[in-house]
Copies of this chain bind each other. A is one copy, B any other.
Amino acid sequence: MDETILLAHGSGGQMSHGLIEGLFLKYLGNPILAALDDAAVVDPPGASGGGRLAFTTDSYVISPIFFPGGDIGKLAVCGTVNDLAMSGATPIYLSAGFILEEGLPLAELERVVASMAETARAAGVSIVAGDTKVVEHGKADRLFINTAGIGRVPAGLELGNDRVRPGDLILLSGTVGDHGMTIMSQREGLRFSSPLQSDCAPLNGLVTAMLAALLAADDAGWGALHCMRDPTRGGVATVLNEIAARSGVGIEVEEAAIPVREAVRAACELLGLDPLYVANEGKLLAFVSPEGAEPLLAAMRAHADGREAAIIGRVTAEHAGRVALRTVLGARRVLSMLAGEQLPRIC
């Protein structure tokens, strides 16, 4: 295999086949992908058990492509797995579309694909469809990855941005800002005494534990859970604003209740950023009616991906469409949606 990506790797001919068989199938191989048909033909997820289908897509253009805690391949699997999990779905099948820049070292591509394979195994999903394109040097930036995903939403579970109601409590699964500040520090060449690390992780295991806990609770059940979201681009503040607008409710958040790692806080202060606007890649927000909050919080804290889970606020019928933050100093201010761009190419 040649040492760098050439335009001919995207030709559809011999070199494309060499790349597919020598690299992609080596790591991602399964009987469905290996058939190399135009489309993967699979059993419909959960056709027998009922339920609906969840379908999502995301492109990943993060720079740098390798960073503490992950890489663009791990991120591309986690991000789409998490979007499915937030809809309540069990992620099952993923597709992967690569756009490669001519001259990309093959060793870097191999490292990324191996990381995708490892993350897919950890999340319990199969990559069953793929595509590779190559563009001239200078017409992309190393590599971009798109993943689309299919999952199964169990019958009886209904979540949505528009289902949040006054009285709901807001749970956050852990610290905020880790991913965004890790990327930012890498780009700026910043060093801190305690190193920053992206929180990039698949959240479907945590969600499974949360749903099981609600089912097992005496007075809750799935009906108590109204919405889940992973606060990626735009951070917690932007997701809260989206929910406030879509559900037509007010939201009140306690700044002191939101866990932030010391190194993240330091990096944010240095760069003049607010951690509530910084991207996360392994955290979720859950909106739940009061009777569900206790079992949900206990289940989250008992899971490796939710140890620092906390109730960070509540939903009100007042100031509909707006998010209010009570600061650590006791002041109250409006937390608006992200305006402009804080950290381009964070995912």
Q: Which A residues are closer than 8 A to B by beta carbons?
A: 6-8, 10-17, 35-47, 51-61, 82-84, 86-87, 89, 93, 95-99, 128-131, 133-136, 138-141, 144, 146, 148-151, 153, 159-162, 229-230, 232-234, 238, 242, 246, 277, 279, 337-342, 344-345, 347
Least Cβ–Cβ distance between A90 and chain B, in angstroms: 12
Q: Is the pair A57, B97 in contact by a Cβ cutoff of 8 Å?
A: yes
> A133 to B82, alpha carbons, bound, how many Å?
18
Task: List B contacts of A39 (CB < 8 A).
Answer: 54-56, 83-84, 86-87, 89, 149, 151
> A93 to B95, alpha carbons, bound, how many Å?
14
Least Cβ–Cβ distance between A196 and chain B, in angstroms: 21
Least Cβ–Cβ distance between A139 and chain B, in angstroms: 4
Q: Is the pair B246, A134 in contact by a Cβ cutoff of 8 Å?
A: no
Q: Is the pair B38, A87 in contact by a Cβ cutoff of 8 Å?
A: yes
Task: List B contacts of A36 (CB < 8 A).
Answer: 161, 242, 246
Partner of A341, one of B8, B87, B277, B337: B8
**What is the count of identical protomers in the complex?**
2
Give 3 nearest A-B pairs by CB, closest first. A12-B233, A13-B338, A148-B148
> A146 to B59, alpha carbons, bound, how many Å?
8
Task: List B contacts of A14 (CB < 8 A).
Answer: 337-340
Which residue of chain B has the shortest Cβ distance to A60 in the bound complex?
A: B133
Knowing A52-B41, A56-B40, A160-B37 touch, does A61 contact B13 (C-beta < 8 A)? no
Partner of A55, one of B93, B131, B342: B93
Least Cβ–Cβ distance between A71 and chain B, in angstroms: 17
Q: Is the pair A59, B133 in contact by a Cβ cutoff of 8 Å?
A: yes
Least Cβ–Cβ distance between A31 and chain B, in angstroms: 11
Task: List B contacts of A44 (CB < 8 A).
Answer: 44-47, 51-53
A-B contact pairs, 29 of them (CB 8 A): A8-B339, A8-B340, A10-B344, A11-B340, A11-B341, A11-B342, A12-B233, A12-B338, A13-B238, A15-B341, A36-B161, A37-B87, A38-B83, A38-B84, A38-B229, A39-B86, A40-B54, A44-B45, A44-B46, A55-B95, A55-B129, A56-B95, A56-B129, A58-B131, A59-B131, A61-B140, A99-B99, A144-B144, A148-B148
- Most B CB atoms within 10 A — which of A16, A39, A340, A342? A39
Partner of A134, one of B7, B83, B344: B344
> A109 to B38, alpha carbons, bound, how many Å?
28
Least Cβ–Cβ distance between A280 and chain B, in angstroms: 12
> A131 to B149, alpha carbons, bound, how many Å?
13
Which residue of chain B has the shortest Cβ distance to A235 in the bound complex?
A: B12
Task: List B contacts of A87 (CB < 8 A).
Answer: 37-39, 41
Which residue of chain B has the shortest Cβ distance to A347 in the bound complex?
A: B133
Task: List B contacts of A246 (CB < 8 A).
Answer: 36
Partner of A11, one of B46, B57, B234: B234
Task: List B contacts of A233 (CB < 8 A).
Answer: 10-13, 16
Task: List B contacts of A7 (CB < 8 A).
Answer: 341, 344
Q: Is the pair A135, B52 in contact by a Cβ cutoff of 8 Å?
A: no
Least Cβ–Cβ distance between A202 and chain B, in angstroms: 14
- Most B CB atoms within 10 A — which of A97, A148, A246, A277? A148
Least Cβ–Cβ distance between A169 and chain B, in angstroms: 20
